[in-house]
Structure 1
Amino acid sequence: MSKGTKRASPGAEEEKDALAGIELSEEAAAALTAVNRDVQRVDIFIERQSYKLMKPVFEKRRDVVKNIDRFWAVALMNHGTFGIHCQHQADQLALTYLEDVWVARDEAEPRVFTLEFKFKENPHFKDQVLKKVYTYTQPPAPEKNTVDENGVSDVAVDFSWEHHVKAGSIKIDWKDPAKALTKLYPRESAEGDDEDPAEPGSFFNFFEHESDPFDLGLCIANDVFPEAIEYFLGNAGNGELDSDDEDSDDDDDAEEIDLEKPRAKKQKI
């Protein structure tokens, strides 16, 4: 045997295939499906209760952070996905006027929501609040729509973000249409069968287009918003600003934006 050649341990092939080719009976598969739906029911109930309990806490946080300069700009930019889609310096400059971010969830179906971005007076657009609405269209209920003791129905378990939720859009009232960020940095369609844009362009395309191909809404509502303080302090996500390492595509003579400064503390709360 040549030096360096390893001999497989006895029974190695048998061990490798030991977990392959497992077949489930129809009865076992049905039982697993039923238990999995029970798990989903509990998850939905917990999510509903969590929303009710956390709403007043988020309202308290809202009052606290409104006095912290660039709180939401820093928190958002510290989320990796958001940072990738907000690399233009003009977008980052616009975000320095961001005063508040709020997620208003549907009481009946809190998995859908409206995102609200509130801005101070700024040189870019006249709107004080930019909204992105995600609307839930409930599918027809089955003949036997079981509702459990926690109020969770079969229809709720069958919820599908892809099939039952539609994202809305708004037209931003730009102060100078020729300098609209969505015009300067449009969302460019991909070629072929790729549904995702080849170039997302300005972050503000997120509001002006119905489609949300990169799930930015879910990232903001489910990641950044509930953990906003941790993202602001750099304790969540990657803790890095992508704009530090990426070449800016902005040719404007905009001032340099320092969104990193508040993260130096790194303290835990």
Structure 2
Amino acid sequence: MASIDQAALEAVQDDIKAIAEATEKAELELTLKRNELMLPIYEKRREVIARIPKFWSAVMQNHRGLSELIEEVDLPVLEHLTDLWVKHDTKDARSYEIIFTFKENPYFTNKELIKKITLKDDEPVSETFEINWKEGKDLTAKDPSKKRKKGDNEDDASDSFFVWFKDEDIHLGDFFVQEIFPEALRQVNIYAGVDDDEVDFEEEEDDASVDLEDEEDDEEEEDEDEEEKPSKKKNKK
């Protein structure tokens, strides 16, 4: 049996590790550059979205992964959400803040709820944030630290998206940073099956910005319809 050249194997492994580290560094630098380039575009998008009622609430409810964590009790609160913003660290792409802005509401006094992800020993860490709930409105009142096990009472843990601000979960932030925030418009485009009295932001957006060319096209179509009406009556005879 051939002897194993341990030194040669370790040298190869060192090369693999060096390339992996260099690649990771390059990817982080590329992400920082991308964040810098996208910032003015997101700011422009922000101005448009501000005129669309319940936009971010709809986006969050439509995201497959996040929608499973949003409970019925959360929906009335999310209707007061007016803005969602991801503030990236300009030095390390792994650090960021997710900022939820709310208008005055009957649930809490905070204008902003912030979920911050920082680095500790080169690992991402989720910071907790205190929500100042109004009396009798705390959706996280039940102890979220009690993890459910077989035989545990279902009432021991709180079922609310807002529990996330009290715990140290970092994975939920990935939904917002990688999908919900950058792909918000895509989430809107695939939003379907909603009653008129729920989320009708598309009509609101159409009313907010009227295209003159579209109006002309509509007038032409109406004229064509008027011309076609007599011919249809003749065919019936």
Residue aligned with 2:141, SS: helix
Identity fraction in percent:
27
Residue aligned with 2:129, SS: coil
Partner in structure 1 of residue 148 of structure 2? 190
TM-score by length of 2: 0.70
Query: Would you tell me which structure has more helix in proportion to its own residues?
Result: 2
8 Å contact from structure 2 (residues 139, 158) kept in 1:
no
Letter in 2 for 1:121: E
Partner in structure 2 of residue 82 of structure 1? 66
Letter in 2 for 1:212: D
Partner in structure 1 of residue 139 of structure 2? 181
8 Å contact from structure 1 (residues 76, 224) kept in 2:
yes
Letter in 1 for 2:31: E
Partner in structure 2 of residue 172 of structure 1? 131
Q: Within 2, Cα distance between the matches of 1:47 and 1:122?
A: 36
Please list every run of 5 or more consecutive structure 2 residues that lacks an aligned counterpart in the other structure: 1-7, 151-155, 204-237
8 Å contact from structure 1 (residues 187, 202) kept in 2:
no
Residue aligned with 2:140, SS: helix
2:184 paired with 1:228: yes
Where do 4+ consecutive residues of structure 1 move more than 4 Å?
Answer: 184-188, 261-264
8 Å contact from structure 1 (residues 79, 231) kept in 2:
yes
Residue 258 (structure 1) aligned to one of 195, 198, 204:
198
Residue 211 (structure 1) aligned to one of 154, 165, 168:
168
8 Å contact from structure 1 (residues 134, 168) kept in 2:
yes
2:109 paired with 1:126: yes
Please list every run of 5 or more consecutive structure 1 residues that lacks an aligned counterpart in the other structure: 1-23, 140-158, 193-197, 245-255, 265-269
Partner in structure 1 of residue 226 of structure 2? none
8 Å contact from structure 1 (residues 116, 131) kept in 2:
yes
8 Å contact from structure 1 (residues 233, 263) kept in 2:
no
8 Å contact from structure 2 (residues 77, 107) kept in 1:
yes
Give how far 1:74 is off. 1.1
Letter in 1 for 2:178: N
Number of equivalenced pairs:
191
Q: Within 2, Cα distance between the matches of 1:112 and 1:121?
A: 29
Give how far 1:262 is off. 4.8
Q: CA RMSD in A?
A: 3.0
Give how far 1:258 is off. 2.4
Give how far 1:188 is off. 4.2
Higher RCO (C-alpha 8 Å, min separation 6): 1
8 Å contact from structure 2 (residues 108, 137) kept in 1:
no
Give how far 1:107 is off. 1.6
Give how far 1:231 is off. 1.2
Give how far 1:126 is off. 1.5
Cα 1:41/1:168, change in 2 over 3 Å: closer
Partner in structure 1 of residue 96 of structure 2? 113
Partner in structure 2 of residue 36 of structure 1? 20
Give how far 1:47 is off. 0.6
Give how far 1:200 is off. 6.0
TM-score by length of 1: 0.62
Letter in 1 for 2:100: F
Q: Within 2, Cα distance between the matches of 1:187 and 1:66?
A: 36
Give how far 1:186 is off. 4.9
Q: Within 2, Cα distance between the matches of 1:71 and 1:172?
A: 22
Partner in structure 2 of residue 65 of structure 1? 49
